[in-house]
Chain A
């Protein structure tokens, strides 16, 4: 073995990663070659120095706690449908083998559906984001383009089985851009389009199931901010790439607007 071959294999030799025949060859070579011997000594010296002196960083103890907490959170969110399935499983009639078999199949099937699919709210949030993104594509953000609420509101007549409240909030920094029909949660819905700075904001509105109420909840999907609430018999979804605080501001404005007796038109007029 010559110097060139030796130098090539030398790191593996120093690391004890070389096969025995090659190692013996190198042993033979270095006996007569001080340059290669120095090279090996150098590599070994640095190995030793690293092992002896380099810091092995130990994970801080709070990191393990943090990981456990995050993992528990993940599990909890995923397992609640599964627990429901198990509960049902526990109640099934074990005395009847056929029924038991049927329930095993049913549970496995429903559990797989539950586990494979995100919750209904998640699906709807995805739909809302998809609707928002679609509306930005191909310049189809509004079917009726008008900053005049008295043009946009009547436009929905005959297209929907409900009449959404339409108000221009230009004074508050959210000018109305127009309105559009969209399809969400298996039904046609009203989409009101507002703008804040250069950010388009879609507000989806449709009638809620009787008695449903929900305070605003914010979430983020694919970089878009969403707000969802149910009030006054209507379901609202707001979605935009605008700053989340601005979006919450608009949500607050819309909430005030939709509440009966608070908007100016229904304010008691001075007796004439």
Chain B
């Protein structure tokens, strides 16, 4: 009887292994940490499997993965939970308020098109505070509804909506900042090179 319970658990839970890993990976930003967390989350899910009666196995599992991740990060990587980027973002927002948010060259697609960096968007998303990164990953990569996200993250639907909106704004700013930094860096580099050539 326990064997069929394990089999049943595997049938329910293993198909969502990628979703579980993807969420843990985006929250921790580390392959290794994500693997450990997913394993812990699956064992926890197995323990509470008798309490699972719904048909939304992915949501049930992702909620456990999320909770396991936060507990784990509080214990092992507390600094990651208090991402210090908020303030920078605020100042960035003020600076940009003059320019239209939707100019041709500040459009994310055109930024990405201008750069040959496949990971540019990943890098921008990684820099977001975790509560925004989380809803964006669940919404855009898992394609979950507001209600499903609200259940997984234990937040009201209104909060899902406002975090998504703010998360997208921050992501856009972050992309523009990365682009600005890299072009500044290029200019600085060429400046130094010119300076060296002069004498």
Whether chains A and B associate is yes
Q: Does B191 contact A (CB under 8 A)?
A: no
In A9-65, which residues have CB < 8 Å from any B CB?
10-12, 15, 17, 38-39, 41-43, 45-51, 53-60, 63-64
Is the CB of B63 closer than 8 A to any CB of chain A?
A: no
Q: Report whether A57 and B34 are in contact in the complex, using a CB–CB cutoff of 8 Å.
A: yes
A70 at the interface (CB under 8 A from B): yes
In the complex, the answer to whether A11 meets B162 with C-beta atoms within 8 Å is yes
Q: Which of A17, A54, A70, A74 contacts B125 (CB 8 A)?
A: A54
A55 to B1, CA, bound (A): 40
A187 CB-CB contact with B under 8 Å: no
Task: Please tell me if the beta carbons of B102 and A42 are within 8 angstroms of each other in the complex.
Answer: yes
Stretch with Cβ within 8 A of B (4 or more), from A75-83, A94-102, A196-204, A236-244: A75-83
State the CA gap A12–B149 with chains docked (Å): 13
Q: What 1/0 flags go to B112-150 for Cβ under 8 Å of A?
A: 100000111110010000000000110111000110000
Given A42-B168, A43-B168, A57-B26, are A15 and B35 neighbors across the interface (CB < 8 Å)? no
Number of A-B pairs, beta carbon distance below 8 Å = 125
Q: A75: which B residues are within 8 A, CB to CB?
A: 2-3, 5-6
Contact across chains for A82 and B39 when beta carbons are under 8 A apart: no
Known contacts A10-B165, A41-B102, A71-B46; A59/B17 CB under 8 A: yes
Does A67 reach chain B (CB closer than 8 Å)? yes
Q: Taking the nearest CB of chain A, how far is it from the CB of B148, in angstroms?
A: 11
Asked whether A59 lies within 8 Å of B162 as measured between CB atoms, the reply is no
Report whether B146 and A12 are in contact in the complex, using a CB–CB cutoff of 8 Å.
yes
Q: Determine if B172 and A42 form an interchain contact, defined as CB atoms under 8 angstroms apart.
A: yes
Nearest Cβ on chain B to A142's Cβ, whole angstroms: 35
Contacts of B140 in A (CB 8 A): 47, 50-51, 54
- Docked pose: A54 CA to B119 CA in angstroms: 8
Q: Can you list 18 A-B pairs with a CB-CB distance of less than 8 A?
A: A11-B161, A12-B146, A38-B100, A38-B101, A41-B102, A42-B169, A45-B172, A46-B171, A48-B109, A49-B175, A51-B140, A53-B112, A54-B137, A56-B22, A57-B25, A57-B31, A67-B38, A79-B3
Q: Which B residues form the contact surface with A (CB < 8 A)?
A: 1-3, 5-6, 9-10, 14, 17-18, 20-22, 25-26, 31, 34-35, 38-39, 42-43, 46, 100-102, 107-109, 112, 118-122, 125, 136-137, 139-141, 145-146, 161-162, 164-165, 168-169, 171-172, 175
Measured CB to CB, the residues of A under 8 A from B are 10-12, 15, 17, 38-39, 41-43, 45-51, 53-60, 63-64, 66-68, 70-72, 74-75, 78-79, 82
